[in-house]
A and B are shown apart, each in its own frame.
Chain A
Amino acid sequence: MRRLARPTVILLALAFLIGCLAVLLTANTGNAAINPQVSEPTPEGMQIEESNSTAPIVSNQVCLGCHSQPGLTMTLENGDVLDLTVNPDTYAASIHGQDGYACVQCHTNLGNYPHPAFKAADLRDVTLQLTNVCDRCHSGEYNLTMDSVHAAAQAAGIREAAVCTDCHGSHDVRQWTDQNTHEILSSARLSIPTTCAKCHNAIYQKYSTSVHGAALTQEGNTDVPTCIDCHGVHNIGNPTTTAFRLKSPELCASCHTNPAIMDKYGISTDVLNTYVADFHGTTVTLFEKQSPDSPTNKPVCYDCHGIHDISRVDDPQTGIQMQQNLLVRCKVCHPDATSNFPSAWMSHYIPSPQHYSLVYYVNLFYKFFIPLVLGGMVVLVSMDVGHSVYVKARRRKPRPTAPKPMETVNPPLDEQPSASSSLASELAPAEAEQQGEQPPSQAEQPPENPPAASEDTPGEEVTHG
């Protein structure tokens, strides 16, 4: 027993030692763990962690020894002056500073002094060069950004198009999402429109007066959409494509069909249903599924409600609850529309005796009429089928029983076709059945029906049987 146990004890002791070493090493490197807000740990991130744990890192104090002093500048090729001073308090307050990231984790090539030569055409060029380092830790977000209109504009040579630091800042990067839920913080929502406004100011001016923007900027209400709720965050798409247009009703509906938000403000959540039920919405929904790239002239939400300047429907100036305000929107596509025309659109109402009573009663009528027609026809036809089956079954029975008395009545009718009493005509069907079996002497009719007179008189046809 003892001989067997000894190697096990040694192995356990070794494992314990390795475990202790590992704990010590990670504790030494401090807060090198990746910021939890990064969605996926990336190979680059792992490498940094490893390199941090092995190689000595240049302390921020070393960098700030020079770079905290004001007046440290560098003149770029076009004469722009690059300020090289970093306020230690600003950085310490930023999310990276709070988590103890080192300067050289972003400025990877500046670990030694003297620094290697740095070349930049102008200030914008500095930003564009340095923003690439975000990819090292935040490659998920970085790659999403590569699909955005901003990246496309950069690729097209528009250097003003936003890159990471234009929105997030550089040394003052802030925490914008909740560490646990990864949901965007309310405080961050308030600053989003002003962030976009740095470039898109004209749109911001419209937005800030809209029903959504005013609530956000004046009341601090974060239930309302900010720029990113419609346009997306990193992979901001082109909002002028047909695909965006066809998809837009769903975008609005993501909030406007949510009772948790809408009930607070007494807004109907039937807006999407009623839109889709109308032929405008039907067509848009159909093509959104079928061919999202096909252009359609059918209106989507924002064609009537506005894009960035969405106003309350009961706004006395611009609200489209006022028919004359809606008419302006109608006339974009229906230029000859007159004052009655806007009410052709049921204004998101579900027809009821109060609203659109005509539609309500037409619907009610058919609710009864269709079952009546369908049921009545089915009953009549099935009774008729049942009866003819019954009649055929009876005819197969031996002759002498049933039709005997009729035969006695029939002959005079054959000879005197002018007899048109109700009795004779009632007997006609039974008689006709027998006629088919009789020799064609019947064809010799009284002279009042000359066969060759014209097409209009009863003609004769020869069939070979």
Chain B
Amino acid sequence: MKNQNVPTPTSSSPGVKLVRTFPRFSASQRWEHAVLLLCVAVLLATGLPQKYNTTAWSQAIISTPARLATLQLIHHIAALVLTALVLYHLGTAIYMMARRKLSGEMLPAWQDVKDAWHMLLYLVYIKKQKPAFGKYNFEQKATYWFLFFTIAIMLISGYIMWFPVVVTRLLPGGVIPAAILAHSTEAMVTLIFIVLFHFYHVHLERLNLSIFSGWLNEEDMRTYHAMEYNRLVSTPRADPPPGDKQV
């Protein structure tokens, strides 16, 4: 499914359809998503049995202290990988910000509130058309920022649980049970959000695999990102790297 830089045929043979594709995510962004997906899956798989330790399915997994120790070890390793990923993500953002190259496409804007309101009117059959979106629509931005803060809460509370002795050198002891509660509960919020909201939008509403392939075809670009499409086809650019284009 790679872009093939073949010369544009002047006349296509019957039965051959040309589909233009538009770059959407850089290789780095796609790798980040893949690692994030893997980490979240492993963390949930090793965390949920610990949360629901009174259930039969959990006790089938955690049957001995040795198994619990293994589960916790895997959980900790995945947490470290996730931490590294978050640091890379933030580091890249700060580096680009310093060079004035960070795109504002993912930042929440007033337009998103208007789009959301427009979408709501569309969903209650008042407006006839969906709003036209830029590169990231308000739902995608909501997904990003929801998971951004969720991961922040999970990482902070996770490290507080992991190193209670160090944490209580500075903070009162009450933060430990609070962190345990927040970690356990926020995990459920994350799971609900990913399964209901994210899976619906990328699998059920339409199958959108652009985060794996890196590109989106013309039809999807026009349908779901009309403003971005119009901008891309109207203004020629001198090869800015994908994913950090300026608005």
A residues apposed to B, CB below 8 Å = 278-279, 282-283, 286-287, 289-291, 294-296, 334, 336-338, 340-346, 351, 356-359, 362-363, 366, 369-370, 373-374, 377-378, 380-381, 383-388, 390, 417-420, 422, 424-433, 435-436, 439-440, 442-445, 448-449, 451-465
Contacts and interface: CB of A to CB of B under 8 A. Distances in A.
B62 interface: yes
A279 B197 CA distance: 31
A436 B232 CA distance: 19
A451 B22 CA distance: 11
**Can you list the 5 inter-chain pairs with the closest CB atoms, starting with the nearest?**
A343-B173, A459-B3, A425-B132, A428-B226, A344-B176
Contacts of B172: 340, 343
30 contacts: A290-B62, A340-B171, A340-B173, A345-B173, A359-B178, A366-B182, A374-B196, A377-B196, A387-B122, A387-B123, A387-B125, A417-B234, A418-B230, A420-B227, A425-B227, A428-B132, A428-B226, A429-B130, A429-B224, A443-B20, A445-B20, A448-B233, A449-B233, A455-B23, A458-B20, A458-B22, A460-B3, A460-B20, A463-B16, A463-B19
Given A283-B68, A418-B234, A440-B17, A388 B177 contact: no
A417 B215 contact: no
Contacts of A334: 164-165
B38 to A, nearest CB: 24
Nearest to A416: B234
A432 B62 contact: no
B31 interface: no
A417 B22 CA distance: 15
Given A340-B173, A356-B177, A377-B197, A370 B18 contact: no
Interface of B: 1, 3-10, 12, 15-23, 53-54, 59, 62-66, 68, 122-125, 129-132, 164-165, 168-169, 171-178, 180-182, 185-186, 188-189, 192-193, 196-197, 200, 204-205, 215, 217-219, 222-224, 226-227, 229-237, 239-242
A463 B17 contact: yes
Contacts of B193: 373, 377
Given A424-B230, A432-B222, A443-B18, A449 B236 contact: yes
A357 B232 CA distance: 53
Contact of A420 (B53, B215, B230): B230
B192 A370 contact: yes
Contacts of A451: 5, 7-8
B19 A369 contact: no
Contacts of B236: 448-449
B129 A452 contact: no
B238 to A, nearest CB: 9
Nearest to B66: A294
B200 A359 contact: no
A366 B185 contact: yes
Contacts of A351: 177
A417 B20 contact: no
A428 B229 contact: yes
A363 B59 CA distance: 25
Contacts of A362: 178, 181-182, 185
Contact of A377 (B4, B180, B192, B232): B192
Nearest to A361: B178
B168 A340 contact: yes
B173 A460 contact: no
A452 B20 contact: no
Nearest to A377: B196
A435 B218 contact: yes
Contact of A462 (B16, B132, B241): B16
A460 B19 contact: yes
A378 B6 contact: no
Query: Which of A366, A458, A465 has the most chain B CB atoms inside 10 A of its CB?
Result: A458
Nearest to B175: A358
A85 B23 CA distance: 108
B231 A420 contact: yes
Contacts of A385: 204
A429 B220 CA distance: 9
A429 B4 contact: no
B185 A370 contact: yes
Contact of B241 (A380, A424, A456): A456
